């Protein structure tokens, strides 16, 4: 056409149609300019300023959606100045975007499980679909539904409304996973065609099983080498059956092996398995060895007979199938974490007459799950808070006789943020004991460094100053390019869900390595958070949502617990699970997967705190029976 305009777009001479905007011109020429407020059916608003471009000779940036082209126009759509202007526009917008992209439960879950999503599927009775959604990020829902420490429930917004009773996120997970596990049409993920690559995974604990689950789906043959005669690692040898029955564990392990993964038992790297052999047969290795060497009390005399490390105590019972005989005995458990809880509750099940938990801080500082503390008290465990052992006293045969303890008081906070316990001078007292169990920490045992380093030709495996495996934080690749690591062996003793989360990262990196790709961690996304603006309190929820009491977990009567039967019985039926699902406030945004604001805020690295100050917090409009109107999310 003769009346076409000559334009220079990003340094290229092109023809423009008279009357068209820069945005239309760019689009016709395959150049994408971000837009938010523009709707081609309407006259341009020019309010978001995300579509700005630089036009030679014009002052400042021009909104491309409303600026018409002229003869000889020279336009830049992607230079540094344009990017800064777009980022500023987005910073301004998100600084007044009082909205949550993701629910806090999902944000707090180390594995990023889509809690809101699976709860909504449970509400519809779609249990296998709920399980499938959970398994995208956590392959062990029936296990975690029983023993997870539940950081999601601490973060749950329901706590603000119903006096500290979160949505039963974990109980519902257990319900859906059990329904699926025992159904005839269990969820089984698709496995890609074989890539011909093989991965050796060291350890069949939560990290190893999860790594295999993710990698096998990608078509890589996974073989797990397990030092013990049975799978599960800490899940079997550290968690007693009254919390996690072995048949549930076995079923969930089978859901991993049915994808094609093999587990080879009684194989310990550094002992009867060498890296030299593995290297010949496998393209990559993932170390998921756990952190299972127990420590003793750490005071004079702790080598006395009948003083054990808590995890050895728990492991020995599972290994031998024999209970310790504590009939009529007095047992002290030293420590305040979940292992201490497992030790004290197990001691009672072994017949102990009296079980004390000795902890140097107060109950408030105990790292153990509050439910465990509660149940231990119901079962009769007695607590000695602000108390610390200073000496183990032996009889003439070297057997534990008593323990000398000191009373403590809390001083200044230490590195962990908890107040440091300080001994009170002259407060010593003795307590007569038959057994003592130390549940105060675990160490990682890396006995294969030499073996690996002697035979590695692509790097060196190292441990850090705590004795854990050294791996890149974002990819979990170790110093040896073909070896990855995940779980407690990297972090030191942590939680099951953290091991699962690490397995997801390590297997992603391992897959990239096997496919010859550059190792890239999961990209970081922009996430808008209401908490960025203010701390949410009860007043933000009261009157806006209905109160509804939490469906509590039915449990065995206390006097029916001197055995290893599962204490928590699970929701009795679907009605209970669906009723609990109704308590979810659906905190995350429905537009999460399609939102352009989130997409561009991610692309331009927008910062919600850049322009701190006034913001609008609009009331949600629930007047329509099905549509919720949230003006906080309007960007015009
Ligand atoms: S997904 Fe989009 S609309 Fe929803 S809260 Fe996040 S940024 Fe706002
Ligand atoms: S109310 Fe629902 S979406 Fe919100 S934090 Fe709790 S479980 Fe998650
Ligand atoms: S899309 Fe052009 S100003 Fe919003």
Give the residue-averaged pLDDT of 237-241. Answer: 95
* Ligand 2 atom with minimal separation from the 104 CA: 5
Would you say residue 140 has pLDDT above 80? yes
- Identify the nearest ligand to the CA of 102 by its number: 1
Residues 206 and 231 in one domain: yes
For residue 461, give both structure tokens. 């495996």
Q: Is 633 in the pocket of ligand 2 (CB under 6 A)?
A: no
What's the 541 CA to ligand 1 centre distance in angstroms?
20
Residues 275 and 252 in one domain: yes
Beta strands 307-309; 330-334: pairing state: unpaired
Q: Is 428 helix (H, G, I), strand (E, B) or coil?
A: coil
* Ligand 3 atom with minimal separation from the 38 CA: 1
* Ligand 1 atom with minimal separation from the 592 CA: 1
331 belongs to a structural domain: yes
CA-nearest residue for atom 8, ligand 2, is: 105
Measured distance CA(376)–CA(370) in Å, rounded: 10
Per residue in 524-551, pLDDT tens?
999 999 999 999 999 999 988 899 999 9
66 belongs to a structural domain: yes
CB 208 within 8 A of CB 286: yes
84 belongs to a structural domain: yes
Closest CA to 513 of 208, 285, 214: 285
Closest CA to 133 of 593, 632, 622: 593
What's the 608 CA to ligand 1 centre distance in angstroms?
12
User: Which CATH number do you get for residue 366?
Assistant: 3.50.50.60
Measured distance CA(289)–CA(469) in Å, rounded: 10
What's the 614 CA to ligand 1 centre distance in angstroms?
19
Q: Is 606 in the pocket of ligand 1 (CB under 6 A)?
A: no
CA-nearest residue for atom 3, ligand 3, is: 46
Beta strands 387-394; 382-384: pairing state: unpaired
Q: Is 235 in the pocket of ligand 3 (CB under 6 A)?
A: no
CA-nearest residue for atom 4, ligand 2, is: 587
CA distances from 626 to 621, 622, 623, 629 (A): 11, 8, 9, 10
Q: Is 104 in the pocket of ligand 2 (CB under 6 A)?
A: yes
CB 292 within 8 A of CB 226: no
390 belongs to a structural domain: yes
Q: Which of 416, 443, 470 is the last residue of a domain?
A: 443
Measured distance CA(396)–CA(401) in Å, rounded: 9
Give the residue-averaged pLDDT of 615-624. Answer: 84
Per residue in 578-589, pLDDT tens?
999 999 999 999
What's the 159 CA to ligand 2 centre distance in angstroms?
9
CB 55 within 8 A of CB 79: no
Measured distance CA(435)–CA(334) in Å, rounded: 11
In 18-140, alpha helices (H) = 22-28, 80-94, 104-108, 115-123, 127-135
Residues 286 and 417 in one domain: no
What's the 154 CA to ligand 2 centre distance in angstroms?
10
Would you say residue 1 has pLDDT above 80? no
Q: Is 21 helix (H, G, I), strand (E, B) or coil?
A: strand
The helix or strand, by DSSP H or E, that contains position 347, with its residue range, turns out to be helix 338-349
Give the residue-averaged pLDDT of 238-252. Answer: 96
* Ligand 3 atom with minimal separation from the 35 CA: 1
Q: What is the pLDDT of residue 616?
A: 84
Residues 344 and 467 in one domain: no
Residues 489 and 383 in one domain: no
Measured distance CA(285)–CA(249) in Å, rounded: 24
Bridge partners (DSSP) listed for residue 146: none
Burial (CB < 10 A; 0-12, 13-18, 19+), residue 473, is exposed
Q: Given ligand 3 and candidates 44, 62, 93, which is best to mutate, with the most ligand atoms within 8 Å of its CB?
A: 44
Per residue in 162-173, pLDDT tens?
988 999 999 999
User: What does the DSSP 8-state code read for residue 457?
Assistant: S
Q: What is the pLDDT of residue 267?
A: 96
CB 101 within 8 A of CB 528: yes
Residues 278 and 370 in one domain: no
The CA radius of gyration of the chain, in Å to the nearest whole number, is: 29
Residues 337 and 391 in one domain: yes
Q: Which of 94, 116, 149 is the last residue of a domain?
A: 94
Q: What's the complex ipTM?
A: 0.94
Q: What is the pLDDT of residue 618?
A: 84
Confidence label for 89 from pLDDT (cuts 50, 70 and 90): very high
Closest CA to 69 of 104, 28, 20, 125: 20
CA-nearest residue for atom 7, ligand 1, is: 598
Residues 465 and 385 in one domain: no
Can you give the residue range of the structural domain that contains 84?
A: 5-94
Residues 391 and 487 in one domain: no
Residues 478 and 402 in one domain: no
Closest CA to 110 of 51, 151, 66: 151
Phi-psi region of 623 (alpha: psi -120 to 50; beta: other; left: phi over 0): alpha
Percent of the chain with pLDDT over 90: 87
Per residue in 415-447, pLDDT tens?
778 788 999 999 999 999 999 999 998 899 899
Bridge partners (DSSP) listed for residue 6: 15
What's the 289 CA to ligand 1 centre distance in angstroms?
40
Residues 202 and 253 in one domain: yes
Q: Which of 94, 115, 147 is the last residue of a domain?
A: 94
Question: Minimum mean pLDDT among 42-51, 228-237, 430-439: which range?
Answer: 42-51
CA distances from 350 to 323, 325, 630 (A): 6, 6, 57
Per residue in 386-411, pLDDT tens?
999 999 999 999 999 999 999 999 99
411 belongs to a structural domain: yes
CB 231 within 8 A of CB 188: no
509 belongs to a structural domain: yes
For residue 17, give both structure tokens. 């149609």
Q: Concatenate the DSSP letters of all residues of 574-623 into one string.
A: HHHHHHHHTT----S-TTTTT-HHHHHHHHTT--TTTT-S----PPPB--
Would you say residue 128 has pLDDT above 90? yes
* Ligand 3 atom with minimal separation from the 46 CA: 3
Would you say residue 376 has pLDDT above 80? yes
339 belongs to a structural domain: yes
Confidence label for 2 from pLDDT (cuts 50, 70 and 90): low
What's the 120 CA to ligand 2 centre distance in angstroms?
11
CA-nearest residue for atom 5, ligand 1, is: 101
* Average pLDDT score over the chain: 94
C-alpha of 79 from chain center: 39
Residues 309 and 428 in one domain: yes
User: Which CATH number do you get for residue 16?
Assistant: 3.10.20.740
Bridge partners (DSSP) listed for residue 437: 308, 333
Q: Is 632 in the pocket of ligand 1 (CB under 6 A)?
A: no
535 belongs to a structural domain: no
Q: What is the pLDDT of residue 636?
A: 60
Q: Is 591 in the pocket of ligand 1 (CB under 6 A)?
A: yes
Helix 80-94 to helix 596-603 angle (10° resolution) is: 130
- Identify the nearest ligand to the CA of 33 by its number: 3
Confidence label for 624 from pLDDT (cuts 50, 70 and 90): confident
Confidence label for 493 from pLDDT (cuts 50, 70 and 90): confident
Measured distance CA(360)–CA(286) in Å, rounded: 37
Q: Is 115 in the pocket of ligand 2 (CB under 6 A)?
A: yes
Burial (CB < 10 A; 0-12, 13-18, 19+), residue 208, is buried
Q: Given ligand 3 and candidates 50, 68, 82, 600, which is best to mutate, with the most ligand atoms within 8 Å of its CB?
A: 50
Measured distance CA(329)–CA(142) in Å, rounded: 35
Helix 115-123 to helix 127-135 angle (10° resolution) is: 170
**How many independent structural domains does the chain possess?**
3
């Amino acid at each position: 056409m003769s009346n076409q305009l000559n334009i220079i777009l990003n340094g290229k001479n092109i023809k423009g149609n008279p009357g068209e905007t820069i945005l239309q011109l760019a689009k016709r020429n395959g150049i994408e300019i971000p837009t938010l407020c523009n709707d081609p059916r309407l006259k341009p608003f020019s309010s978001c300023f995300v579509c700005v471009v630089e036009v030679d000779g014009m002052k400042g940036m021009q909104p491309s959606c409303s600026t018409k082209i002229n003869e000889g126009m020279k336009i830049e759509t992607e230079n540094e100045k344009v990017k800064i202007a777009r980022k500023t526009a987005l910073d301004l917008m998100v600084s007044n975007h009082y909205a949550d992209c993701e629910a806090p439960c999902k944000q707090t879950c180390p594995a990023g499980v889509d809690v809101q999503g699976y709860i909504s599927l449970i509400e519809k009775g779609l249990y296998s679909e709920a399980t499938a959604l959970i398994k995208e990020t956590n392959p062990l829902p029936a296990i975690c539904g029983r023993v997870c420490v539940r950081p999601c429930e601490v973060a749950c917004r329901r706590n603000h409304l119903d006096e500290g009773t979160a949505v039963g996120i974990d109980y519902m997970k257990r319900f859906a996973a059990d329904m699926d596990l025992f159904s005839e049409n269990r969820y089984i993920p698709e496995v890609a065609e074989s890539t011909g690559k093989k991965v050796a995974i060291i350890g069949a604990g939560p990290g190893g099983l999860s790594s295999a689950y993710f990698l096998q789906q990608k078509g890589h043959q996974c073989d797990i080498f397990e030092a013990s005669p049975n799978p599960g690692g800490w899940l079997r040898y550290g968690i007693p059956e009254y919390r996690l029955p072995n048949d549930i564990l076995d079923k969930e392990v089978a859901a991993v092996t049915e994808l094609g993964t093999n587990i080879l038992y009684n194989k310990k790297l550094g002992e009867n398995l060498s890296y030299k052999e593995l290297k010949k047969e496998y393209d990559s290795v993932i170390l998921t060895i756990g952190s299972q060497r127990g420590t003793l009390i750490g005071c004079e005399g702790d080598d006395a007979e009948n003083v054990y490390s808590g995890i050895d105590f728990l492991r020995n019972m599972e290994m031998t199938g024999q209970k310790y005989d504590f009939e009529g005995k007095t047992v002290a458990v030293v420590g305040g974490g979940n292992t201490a809880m497992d030790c004290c509750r197990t001691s009672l099940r072994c017949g102990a007459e009296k079980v004390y938990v000795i902890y140097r801080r107060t109950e408030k500082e105990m790292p153990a799950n509050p439910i465990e503390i509660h149940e231990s008290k119901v079962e009769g465990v007695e607590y000695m808070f602000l108390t610390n052992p200073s000496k183990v006293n032996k009889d003439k045969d070297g057997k534990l006789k008593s323990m000398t303890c000191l009373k403590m008081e809390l001083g200044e906070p230490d590195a962990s943020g908890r107040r440091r316990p300080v001994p009170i001078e002259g407060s010593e007292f003795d307590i007569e004991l038959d057994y003592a169990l130390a549940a105060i920490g675990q160490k990682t045992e890396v006995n294969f460094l030499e073996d690996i380093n002697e035979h590695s030709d692509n790097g060196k495996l190292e441990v850090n100053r705590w004795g854990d495996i050294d791996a890149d934080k974002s990819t979990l690749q170790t110093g040896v390019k073909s070896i990855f690591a995940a779980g407690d062996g990297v972090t030191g003793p942590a939680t099951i869900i953290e091991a699962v989360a690490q397995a997801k990262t390590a297997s992603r990196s391992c897959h990239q390595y096997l496919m010859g790709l550059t190792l890239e961690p999961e990209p970081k996304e922009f996430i808008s958070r209401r908490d960025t603006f203010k701390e949410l309190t009860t007043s933000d929820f009261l009157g806006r949502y209905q109160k509804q009491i939490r469906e509590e977990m039915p449990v065995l009567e206390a006097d029916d617990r001197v055995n290893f039967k599962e204490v928590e019985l699970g929701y009795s039926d679907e009605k209970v699970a669906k009723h609990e699902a109704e308590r979810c406030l659906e905190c995350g945004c429905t537009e999460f997967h399609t939102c352009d604001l989130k997409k561009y805020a991610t692309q331009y690295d927008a910062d919600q705190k850049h322009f701190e100050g006034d913001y609008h917090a609009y009331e949600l409009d629930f007047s329509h029976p099905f549509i919720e109107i949230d003006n906080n999310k309007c960007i015009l």
